[in-house]
Structure 1
Amino acid sequence: MSPLRRQIRQTLTIARRDFTATVFTPIFLLFLFAPAIMGSLSVLGGLSAASVTQGSTDKARLVAMLPAASAKALRSADAQLRPLMRGDAAPPPLTLHPSVEKNAQLVSRAMLDAPGGDVNAVLYGTLAQPRVLFSAGNRNEARYLAVVARQAALIERAGTAPPTVRMEPVKTAAPTLGDRNAAAFLTVFGIFFLTLFLSGQVVGTMAEERNNKVIEILAAAVPLESVFLGKLLGMYGVALLFVTFWGTVLGQIGALLPGDIGADLAQLHPAIGLMPFALLFAAYFTTAFLLLGSVFLGVGAQAGTMREVQMLSLPITIIQVAMFGLASSAVSHPGSALATAAEFFPLSSPFAMAGRAASDARWWPHLAALAWQLLWVAVFITVGARLFRRGVLQSGSAKPAWKRLFARG
Structure 2
Amino acid sequence: MKFGRMLRQTLTVARRDFTATVMTPTFLLFLLSPLLMIGFGVVGSMSASSAAGGGEERQRIVVIAAPDKADEIVAVDKQLRQVFTVPTARPSLRIEGPGDDVPAQARALLDSSQFDVTAVLYGPLDRPHILRRPSGYAEGVYLTQLAEQTLRAERSGGAKQLSKAHVVEVTSGQATTGGRSQAAYFAALGIFFLTLMLSGQAVGAMAEERSNKVIEVLAAAIPLESVFFGKLLGAFGSALLFVCFWGTLIAQLPKVVPAGFAAELGNLSTAVGPIFPLLFVVYFTMAYMLQSAVFLGVGSLAGTQREIQMLSLPITIFQFSMLGFASYAAGHADSWLARAAEIFPFSSPLAMAAHAANSPILWPHAVALVWQMLWVAITVTVAARLFRRGVLKSGSPKRSKRQVEQPAIDMTVS
Q: Please give the TM-score of this superposition, normalised by the length of structure 1.
A: 0.87
Residues 175/72 of structure 1: CA separation in 2 closer, same or farther (3 Å cut): farther
Query: Could you tell me how far apart the structure 1 residues matched to 2:68 and 2:359 are?
Result: 57
Deviations 1:348-381 (A, max 9, x none): 1111111111122222222222222222223223
Distance 1:31 1:391 in 2: 32
Residue pairs, 1:164-183, within 5 angstroms = 164-183=164-183
Q: Deviations over 1:129-162 (max 9, x none)?
A: 3322223432322221212222233333333522
Residue number in structure 1 paired with 2:231: 231
Give 1:187 deviation, angstroms.
1.1
CA distance in 1, matches of 2:249, 2:60: 42
**Structure 2 counterpart of 1:194, which letter?**
L
Q: CA deviation at 1:263?
A: 1.5
* Structure 1 partner of 2:123: 125
Moved more, 231-240 or 180-189: 180-189
**2:57 is matched by which residue type in structure 1?**
D
Cα–Cα, structure 1 residues 184 and 108, in superposed 2: closer, same or farther, change >3 Å? same
What's 2:137 paired with? 139
Deviation at 1:207, TM superposition (A): 0.8
Moved more, 254-263 or 277-286: 254-263
Partner of 2:406: none
Paired position in structure 1 for 2:112 = 114
> Who is 2:62 aligned against?
63
1:204 aligns with 2:204: yes
Equivalent pair of 1:299/1:388 in contact (CA under 8 Å): no
For residues 49-128 of structure 1, the aligned pairs below 5 Å read 49-86=48-85, 90-98=89-97, 100=98, 102-128=100-126
Per the alignment, residue 150 of structure 1 pairs with 148
Distance of 1:193 and 1:263 partners within structure 2: 24
In structure 1, C-alpha distance between the alignment counterparts of 2:177 and 2:34, rounded to whole Å: 29
Conserved? CA contact 1:184–1:355, under 8 Å: yes
Instruction: Report if aligned partners of 1:124, 1:130 keep a CA contact under 8 Å in 2.
Output: yes
Equivalent pairs, count: 392
> Which residue in the other structure is 1:266 paired with?
266
Q: Give the direction of change, closer, same or farther, for the CA distance of 1:376–1:56 in structure 2 (3 Å limit).
A: closer
| CA separation of 1:4 and 1:368: change in aligned 2, threshold 3 A | closer
For the 8 Å contact 1:327–1:342, the answer to whether it is kept is yes
Where does residue 254 of structure 1 map in the other structure? 254
Residue 196 of structure 1 contacts residue 317 of structure 1 at CA under 8 Å; is this kept in 2?
yes
Other-structure match for 2:23:
24
C-alpha offsets along residues 294-321 of structure 1, whole Å, 9 cap, x if unaligned?
1221232112111222223233222222
**Which 10-residue stretch deviates more, 260-269 or 163-172?**
163-172
| Deviating more after overlay: 347-356 vs 361-370 | 361-370
Q: Deviations over 1:22-53 (max 9, x none)?
A: 12222223322333322322332232233334
Residues 257 and 68 (structure 1 numbering): CA distance in 2 closer, same or farther, change over 3 Å? Answer: farther
Contact residue 14 and residue 231 of structure 2 kept, 8 A: yes
Report if aligned partners of 1:349, 1:369 keep a CA contact under 8 Å in 2.
yes
Deviation (angstroms), 1:3:
4.2
2:353 matched to 1:358? no
Distance in 2 separating the partners of 1:228 and 1:200: 15
Match of 2:169, SS? coil
Bigger radius of gyration among the two: 2
| CA positional deviation for 1:264 | 1.4
C-alpha distance in structure 1 between counterparts of 2:247 and 2:306, whole Å: 34
1:370 corresponds to: 369
Consecutive aligned runs of 4 or more in structure 1 exceeding 6 Å deviation: none
| Cα separation, partners in 2 of 1:55 and 1:315, compared to 1, 3 Å | closer
Does the C-alpha gap of structure 1 residues 219 and 374 become closer, same or farther in structure 2, counting only changes over 3 Å? closer
Structure 1: distance between partners of 2:170 and 2:255 = 18
**Contact 1:104/1:124 (<8 A) preserved:** yes
2:310 is matched with which residue? 311
Contact 1:61–1:120 (8 Å) recurs in 2? yes
How many angstroms apart in 2 are the aligned matches of 1:328 and 1:205?
31
The verdict on how the C-alpha distance between 1:88 and 1:379 changes in structure 2, with shifts beyond 3 A counting, is farther
Letter in 2 for 1:180: R
Residue type at the aligned position of 2:22:
V
Q: Taking every aligned residue pair, what percent have the same amino acid on both sides? A: 51
- For residues 126 and 321 of structure 2, the distance between their equivalents in structure 1, rounded to whole angstroms, comes to 57
Query: Do the aligned partners of residues 88 and 136 (structure 1) sit closer, same or farther apart at CA in structure 2, a change above 3 Å counting?
Result: farther
Q: 1:127 to 1:257 in 2, by over 3 A?
A: farther
Distance 1:67-1:233 versus aligned 2 partners, 3 A rule:
same
Residue 101 of structure 1 deviates from its aligned partner by 7.1
Secondary structure, aligned partner of 1:269: coil
Q: CA deviation at 1:71?
A: 3.6
What is the root-mean-square deviation of aligned Cα atoms in Å? Answer: 2.5
- The Cα offsets for residues 62-91 of structure 1, whole Å up to 9 and x where unpaired, read as 222334454444334322332444569711
**Corresponding residue for 1:213?**
213
TM (norm. structure 2) is: 0.86
Q: Distance in 1 between matches of 2:268 and 2:134?
A: 41
Measured after TM superposition, the shift of residue 277 of structure 1 is: 0.7
In structure 1, C-alpha distance between the alignment counterparts of 2:216 and 2:381, rounded to whole Å: 21
